[in-house]
């Protein structure tokens, strides 16, 4: 039992994603309540009071982000639900899109009302086929019921929603570069300043929120900020959807009350490790856990995990973060050198190539680790990886370059002996093993 | 106005400026590759870093000035980051300065010596990429040298608006490429990307391997290709680098033409036609004066022209809209009393040429029409049937339209059939052989300087006109 629920508080059935089922469990009541009894700023204040932090990785307070937009400034504003879930190990938003799409749509209507948004977007990962079909069907249902378009629920409020399928590059999911993808240009991250709430999509103030963050808004408005605050911890209110994969018996998406015991989650709720192996390490929140936090996130070793709870403050103190909620469990006997090789291959392949350190650094690190794995490592390679990682840290436009560096330094910091062994003996200490046997 | 402190020195800046702009405008050099004053900010080279007190190291090109902020442009963390960025950039960049056309003008070369200057950290082989990819009939791209600063891409989007170039693929496989099978031939301003490329990735086919930058020196000049009158630099071999063994023409050729930045006229750009000015100036020259096609001395031809002017009844002059302000004034003061004068265009748009656009190119293909018309009016040319003498200065006159029997005095610079047909032909110097000014269509006056010697027998128009006005037999 992972604690109280916000999003997964119903039984998934063959039609639980439909409008009828959503209405039956109280759906769209929050919208009616807001349109009838609340001013737009009241909705924003409710989100501020709830203390909900962004669920995409940065954990930035969502309400504060919304406060960056003045709904009455006379400008067009845009809202984008970032459903481009490309982080390796992360597939928790997929659950919302497939099984509770109306929670997202209702929340987007509430956010649009709060922010003065006439046109909202869902930017969904191109590879997500079933989630896209479910979402698309839900949008059709909502339009048919007059929940989008003009004069919603007779309130005079108007909002249209566009579902935009992503182009298949990891960086398209980076909040600023997906703006370019929608605008029809190459999805390159944008420099800040200006913030997106000042100049975003089509140069207009824009809020980009993660799917899970937005989907929670309907619950918050329906039940009140105080009810939300009662869940989780004082500094990390609410719940998190966590997608668990790796060497674990029961991989999948779980909703966890923040502050929940990590050890209990892994060993009881997720059934423990495959093959009865001992835990070696956990990548806590997608392989780029720290992409947006700028902290020196790291792979957590088994000993560190045992004492931790799943919440932002504890993980931050441990030098990591909940990131995108994509938890990867690694069992004893896994070769961390080869694991790092896979991670660096990903970063190299997905680097958009816009800024120098990421473009060159990810490729540099990938080639070095490839050489080590090929048995041609040199003792100075470890220093080279540190050097590249150091100068990728904080020098790039978006967080991808940082994340690549974090991955390398985290592995080297925790498992340096494996790298030294590989270089010295020209083969893996664990036979190059990545599977649980 | 905000005041910021750069390296401890108070600097007053305008509103909405960046630290990089403020620094450069006040004599603090901050190295940069991707930033260009005329292009949008992308901040991708990450070299223009400065240290802001309390906020660490960040790029200056995208750092707005805030009143009272303090930045260091050359602190230890800044130098360390610049050095690291140069190591990244040079990771796959070939160190082929010995054969690179940009050597001597390459900012990567300069910055490497200033901030890095160490052997490569990586002992692994460099990545190879496409060499000499043809972007157009004029430009080739060396992808191995490209540092993906995207200046060229932004130029075609934001300045020339041809949208020809884009970037394909990702990471260190990314390549600058024409979009959807287009070529840079579609862009009449394409050669500017060669200038703004901070390294030797974009190469001019006409200049490739012609000369090292340090053999050359520029002379300020004005493009005579249209009424815009873009200021340019004509690059030619320095006298001390002339080689006897070379064909003499190679020693004196205009090897390339680049923009001479002029905010009032052309900013930092010129069109491709202006780039071809060097080739246009290599047309065969007329160096010998003629009377009805028979070679004579210039003195004899001047004397013959004087006699014709004195002896003729109705006289018409067609003055060149390519003459300099000084030449036009000399004609006006010396000869205007003797002639009914009309301004003629020396050049009209040619087939395939861009006639006019919103950036630089003007429909009037002559550099000084405005000055000529201000002196001689803008009446359409009318040569009545009783005209006895037509004085033609420059090119573009239709001799077939002249009255039968009218005598013709032709003053020109190039070999042409009309030279032998005229009763008197006197060869004139060309723009690169004299000093002068043009007034462009907006009224902006720009100067040009000589960079070549006049051939023997050729005379400056400014010198010639007073001589033509003098009585026959005089030595004035």
How many domains does the structure of chain B reveal?
3
pLDDT in tens, B212-238: 999 999 999 999 999 999 999 999 999
Which chain A residues contact residue B41 at CB under 8 A? 191
Q: What is the mean pLDDT of residues A303-331?
A: 84
A106 min Cα distance to partner chain B (Å) = 37
pLDDT in tens, A48-73: 999 999 998 888 999 999 999 999 99
Residue B248 within any structural domain of the chain: no
Which chain B residues contact residue A395 at CB under 8 A? 46, 49, 57, 81, 84-85
Same-domain pairing of B130 and B79: no
Chain A residue nearest residue B174, CA to CA: A353
Which chain A residues contact residue B119 at CB under 8 A? none
Residue B344 within any structural domain of the chain: yes
Residue B202 within any structural domain of the chain: yes
DSSP E strands in A1-116: the ranges are 77-83
Which chain B residues contact residue A354 at CB under 8 A? 42, 44, 148, 150
Same-domain pairing of B435 and B381: yes
Chain B residue nearest residue A369, CA to CA: B124
Q: Is the CB of B148 inside 8 Å of chain A's CB atoms?
A: yes
pLDDT of B467 > 90? The answer is yes
B458 min Cα distance to partner chain A (Å) = 56
A406 vs B248 pLDDT, higher one: A406
The domain made up of A336-425 is a member of CATH 3.40.120.10: no
For chain A, percent of residues with pLDDT exceeding 90: 84
Q: Between chains, do B46 and A367 touch, taking CB under 8 Å as contact?
A: no
Which chain A residues contact residue B91 at CB under 8 A? 360, 363-364
B16 min Cα distance to partner chain A (Å) = 12
CA dist B220 and B257 (Å) reads 10
| Secondary structure class of A27 (helix, strand, coil) | coil
CA dist A267 and A306 (Å) reads 10
Which residue in the set B41, B92, B124 is minimally distant from A360, CB to CB? B92
Chain B residue nearest residue A192, CA to CA: B62
B79 min Cα distance to partner chain A (Å) = 12
CATH 3.40.50.11540 residue window(s) in chain A: 19-229
> What's this model's pTM, rounded to 2 decimal places?
0.94
Q: Between chains, do B127 and A363 touch, taking CB under 8 Å as contact?
A: yes
B3, B67 contact by CB (below 8 A): yes
CA dist B338 and A311 (Å) reads 97
- Helix ranges restricted to H, B377-452: 417-421
Evaluated on CA atoms B181, B133, B203, B31, the torsion sign reads positive
pLDDT of A191 > 50? The answer is yes
Residue B224 within any structural domain of the chain: no
Which chain A residues contact residue B87 at CB under 8 A? 391
Q: Using 50, 70 and 90 to split pLDDT, how confident is the model at A298?
A: low
**Domain A19-229, CATH number (from 3.90.1150.10, 3.40.50.11540, 3.20.190.10, 3.40.30.10):** 3.40.50.11540
Same-domain pairing of B129 and B83: no
Residue B151 within any structural domain of the chain: yes
Suggest the residue from B19, B44, B89, B143 to mutate for an interface test with chain A (most A CBs closer than 10 A).
B44
Least confident of A19-23, A54-58, A251-255, B224-228: A54-58
Evaluate the omega torsion of the peptide bond into residue A194 and state whether it is cis, within 30 degrees of 0.
Answer: yes
pLDDT of A291 > 50? The answer is no
Report the CATH number that the domain containing residue B349 is assigned in CATH: 3.40.50.740
Q: Is the CB of B398 inside 8 Å of chain A's CB atoms?
A: no
Q: Between chains, do B169 and A353 touch, taking CB under 8 Å as contact?
A: yes
Same-domain pairing of B452 and B324: yes
Which chain B residues contact residue A393 at CB under 8 A? none
Q: Is the CB of B64 inside 8 Å of chain A's CB atoms?
A: yes
CA dist A94 and A270 (Å) reads 19
pLDDT in tens, A124-164: 999 999 999 999 999 999 999 999 999 999 999 999 999 99
Query: What are the CB-based long-range contacts (under 8 Å, 24+) for B165-171?
Result: B165/B135, B165/B193, B166/A186, B167/A186, B167/A353, B169/A353, B170/A169, B170/A171, B170/A349, B170/A350, B170/A351, B170/A352, B170/A353, B171/A348, B171/A349, B171/A350, B171/A351, B171/A352, B171/A353, B171/A358, B171/A359, B171/A362, B171/A363
CA dist A427 and A409 (Å) reads 21
Range of the domain at B9: 3-90
A155 min Cα distance to partner chain B (Å) = 41
Which chain B residues contact residue A384 at CB under 8 A? 121-122
A312, A236 contact by CB (below 8 A): yes
Q: Is the CB of B92 inside 8 Å of chain A's CB atoms?
A: yes
Q: Between chains, do A348 and B56 touch, taking CB under 8 Å as contact?
A: no
Same-domain pairing of B80 and B196: no
Q: Is the CB of B47 inside 8 Å of chain A's CB atoms?
A: yes
Residue ending a domain, among B162, B183, B209, is B209
Same-domain pairing of B369 and B461: yes
Same-domain pairing of B73 and B167: no
Same-domain pairing of B407 and B326: yes
Chain mean pLDDT for chain B? 95
Report the CATH number that the domain containing residue B56 is assigned in CATH: 3.10.20.740
Which residue in the set B44, B49, B127 is minimally distant from A354, CB to CB? B44
**Domain A239-331, CATH number (from 3.40.50.300, 3.20.20.70, 3.10.20.600, 3.30.420.40):** 3.10.20.600
Residue B458 C-beta-side C-alpha neighbours within 13 Å: 19
Q: Between chains, do B172 and A363 touch, taking CB under 8 Å as contact?
A: yes
Residue B262 within any structural domain of the chain: no
Chain A residue nearest residue B57, CA to CA: A395
Which chain B residues contact residue A378 at CB under 8 A? 123
ipTM of the prediction: 0.92
Least confident of A318-327, B77-86, B341-350: A318-327
CATH 1.20.1440.230 residue window(s) in chain A: 336-425
Q: What is the DSSP string of B140-204?
A: EE-TTT-----HHHHIIIIIS----EEEES-GGG-EEEEGGG--GGG-TTTTHHHHH-SSTTEEE
Suggest the residue from B59, B86, B88 to mutate for an interface test with chain A (most A CBs closer than 10 A).
B88
Chain B residue nearest residue A387, CA to CA: B84
Q: What is the mean pLDDT of residues B47-66?
A: 96
Q: Is the CB of B124 inside 8 Å of chain A's CB atoms?
A: yes
A192 min Cα distance to partner chain B (Å) = 8
Report the CATH number that the domain containing residue B139 is assigned in CATH: 3.30.70.20
Same-domain pairing of B137 and B83: no
Across the strands, what pairs with B168?
A: B175
Count of other CB atoms within 10 angstroms of residue B430: 20
Q: What is the mean pLDDT of residues B421-446?
A: 97
pLDDT in tens, A376-404: 999 999 999 999 999 998 899 999 999 99
pLDDT in tens, B9-28: 999 998 899 999 999 999 99
- Look at residue B475 in the predicted model and tell me its pLDDT: 64
Same-domain pairing of B295 and B381: yes
B466, B393 contact by CB (below 8 A): no
Q: Is the CB of B86 inside 8 Å of chain A's CB atoms?
A: no
A352 min Cα distance to partner chain B (Å) = 5
* Distance of alpha carbon A257 from the chain centroid: 17
Residue ending a domain, among B90, B113, B133, is B90
pLDDT of A269 > 70? The answer is yes
CA dist A319 and B26 (Å) reads 43
- Bridge-based pairing of strands A239-246 and A326-331 is parallel
Q: How many CB pairs under 8 A join A and B?
A: 98
B84 min Cα distance to partner chain A (Å) = 7
pLDDT of B472 > 80? The answer is no
Q: Between chains, do A353 and B172 touch, taking CB under 8 Å as contact?
A: yes
pLDDT of B473 > 80? The answer is no
Suggest the residue from A170, A354, A378, A401 to mutate for an interface test with chain B (most B CBs closer than 10 A).
A354
CA dist B441 and B436 (Å) reads 17
B122 min Cα distance to partner chain A (Å) = 8
Same-domain pairing of B310 and B441: yes
Same-domain pairing of B451 and B307: yes
* Residues on A contacting B at a C-beta cutoff of 8 Å: 169, 171, 186, 188, 191, 193, 348-364, 367-368, 371, 378, 384, 387, 390-391, 394-397
Q: Is the CB of B125 inside 8 Å of chain A's CB atoms?
A: no
- Look at residue A293 in the predicted model and tell me its pLDDT: 29
Q: Is the CB of B16 inside 8 Å of chain A's CB atoms?
A: no
Q: Between chains, do A396 and B46 touch, taking CB under 8 Å as contact?
A: yes
Taking each continuous run of H as one helix and of E as one strand, the counts in chain A are: 17, 11
- Look at residue A289 in the predicted model and tell me its pLDDT: 62
B172 min Cα distance to partner chain A (Å) = 5
CATH 3.10.20.600 residue window(s) in chain A: 239-331
pLDDT in tens, B145-192: 999 999 999 999 999 999 999 999 999 999 999 988 788 999 999 999
Residue B271 within any structural domain of the chain: no
Residue B283 within any structural domain of the chain: no
Residue ending a domain, among B209, B230, B256, is B209
Which residue in the set B85, B121, B123 is minimally distant from A387, CB to CB? B121
Q: Between chains, do B47 and A356 touch, taking CB under 8 Å as contact?
A: yes
Suggest the residue from A170, A187, A356 to mutate for an interface test with chain B (most B CBs closer than 10 A).
A356
Q: Using 50, 70 and 90 to split pLDDT, how confident is the model at A296?
A: very low
CA dist A99 and B329 (Å) reads 85
């Amino acid at each position: 039992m992972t604690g109280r629920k916000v999003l997964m508080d119903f039984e998934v059935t063959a039609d639980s994603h439909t409008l009828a089922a959503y209405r039956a469990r109280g759906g769209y009541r929050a919208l009616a309540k807001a349109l009838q009894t609340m001013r737009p700023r009241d909705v924003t204040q409710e989100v501020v009071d709830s203390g909900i932090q962004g669920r995409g990785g940065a954990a930035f307070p969502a309400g504060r982000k919304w406060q960056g937009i003045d709904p009455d400034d006379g400008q067009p504003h845009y809202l984008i639900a970032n459903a481009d879930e490309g982080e390796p190990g992360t597939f928790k938003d997929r659950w919302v899109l497939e099984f509770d799409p109306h929670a997202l749509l209702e929340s987007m209507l509430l956010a649009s009302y709060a922010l003065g948004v006439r046109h909202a977007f869902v930017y969904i990962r191109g590879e997500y086929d079933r989630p896209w079909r479910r979402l698309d069907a839900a949008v059709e249902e909502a339009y048919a019921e007059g929940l989008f378009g003009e004069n919603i629920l007779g309130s005079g409020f108007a909002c249209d929603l566009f579902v935009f399928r992503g182009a298949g590059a990891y960086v398209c999911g980076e909040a600023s570069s997906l703006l370019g993808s929608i605008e029809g240009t190459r999805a390159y991250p944008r420099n800040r300043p200006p913030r997106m709430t000042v100049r975003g999509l089509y140069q207009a103030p824009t809020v980009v929120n993660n799917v899970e963050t937005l989907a929670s808004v309907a619950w918050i408005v329906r039940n009140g900020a105080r009810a939300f605050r009662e869940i989780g911890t004082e500094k990390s209110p609410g719940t998190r959807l966590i997608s668990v994969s790796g060497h674990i018996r029961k991989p999948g998406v779980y909703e966890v009350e923040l502050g929940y015991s990590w050890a209990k989650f892994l060993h009881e709720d997720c059934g423990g490790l495959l093959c009865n192996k001992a835990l070696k390490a956990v990548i806590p929140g997608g392989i780029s856990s720290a992409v947006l936090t700028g902290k020196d996130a790291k792979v957590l070793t088994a000993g560190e995990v045992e004492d931790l709870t799943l919440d932002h403050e504890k993980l931050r103190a441990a030098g990591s973060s909940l990131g995108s909620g994509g938890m990867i469990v690694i069992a004893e006997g896994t070769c961390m050198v080869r694991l790092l090789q896979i991670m660096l291959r990903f970063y190299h392949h997905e680097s958009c190539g816009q800024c120098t350190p990421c473009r060159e650094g990810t490729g540099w690190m990938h080639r070095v680790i490839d050489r080590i794995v090929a048995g041609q490592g040199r003792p100075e390679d470890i220093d080279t990886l540190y050097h590249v990682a150091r100068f990728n840290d904080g020098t790039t436009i978006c967080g991808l370059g940082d994340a690549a560096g974090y991955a390398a330094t985290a592995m080297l910091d925790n498992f340096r002996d494996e790298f030294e062994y590989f270089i010295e003996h020209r083969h893996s200490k664990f036979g190059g093993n990545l599977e649980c046997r | 106005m905000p005041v910021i402190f750069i390296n401890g020195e108070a600097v007053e800046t305008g509103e909405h400026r960046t630290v990089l702009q403020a620094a450069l405008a006040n004599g603090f050099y901050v190295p940069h590759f991707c930033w260009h004053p005329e292009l949008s900010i992308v901040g991708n080279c990450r070299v223009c870093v400065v240290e802001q007190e309390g906020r660490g190291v960040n790029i200056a090109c995208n750092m707005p000035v805030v009143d009272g902020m303090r930045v260091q442009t050359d602190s230890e963390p800044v130098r360390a980051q610049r050095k690291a960025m140069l190591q990244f950039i040079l990771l796959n960049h070939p160190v082929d300065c010995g054969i690179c056309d940009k050597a001597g003008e390459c900012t990567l070369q300069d910055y490497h010596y200033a901030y890095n200057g160490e052997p490569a950290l990586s002992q692994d082989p460099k990545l190879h990429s496409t060499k000499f990819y043809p972007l157009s009939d004029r430009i080739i791209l060396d992808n191995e040298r490209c540092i993906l600063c995207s200046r060229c891409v932004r130029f075609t989007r934001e300045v020339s608006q041809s949208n020809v170039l884009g970037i394909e693929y990702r990471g260190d496989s990314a390549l600058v490429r024409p979009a959807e099978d287009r070529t840079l031939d579609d862009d009449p301003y394409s050669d500017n990307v060669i200038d703004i490329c901070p390294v030797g990735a974009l190469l001019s086919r006409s200049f490739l391997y012609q000369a090292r930058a340090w053999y050359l020196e520029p002379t300020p000049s004005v493009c005579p290709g249209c009424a815009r009158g873009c200021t340019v630099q004509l690059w030619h071999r320095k006298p001390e680098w002339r080689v006897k063994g070379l064909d003499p023409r190679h020693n004196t050729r205009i090897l390339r033409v680049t923009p001479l930045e002029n905010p009032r006229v052309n900013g930092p750009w010129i069109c491709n036609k202006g780039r071809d000015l060097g080739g246009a100036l290599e047309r065969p020259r007329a160096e010998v004066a003629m009377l009805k096609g028979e070679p004579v001395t210039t003195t004899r031809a001047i004397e013959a022209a004087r006699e014709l002017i004195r002896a003729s009844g109705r006289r018409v002059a067609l003055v060149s809209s390519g003459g300099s302000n000084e030449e036009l004034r000399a004609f006006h003061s010396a000869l205007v009393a003797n002639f009914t004068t009309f301004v003629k265009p020396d050049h009209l748009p040619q087939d395939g040429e861009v006639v006019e656009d919103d950036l630089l190119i003007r429909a009037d293909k002559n550099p000084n029409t405005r000055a000529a018309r201000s002196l001689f009016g803008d009446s359409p040319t009318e040569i009545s049937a009783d005209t006895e003498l037509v004085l033609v200065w420059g090119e573009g006159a239709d001799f077939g339209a002249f009255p039968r029997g009218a005598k013709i005095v032709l003053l020109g610079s190039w070999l042409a059939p009309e030279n032998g047909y005229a009763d008197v032909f006197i060869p004139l110097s060309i723009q690169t052989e004299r000093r002068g000014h043009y007034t462009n269509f907006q009224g902006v006056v720009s100067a040009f300087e000589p960079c070549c010697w006049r051939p023997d027998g050729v005379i400056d128009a400014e010198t010639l006109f007073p001589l033509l006005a003098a009585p026959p037999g005089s030595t004035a």
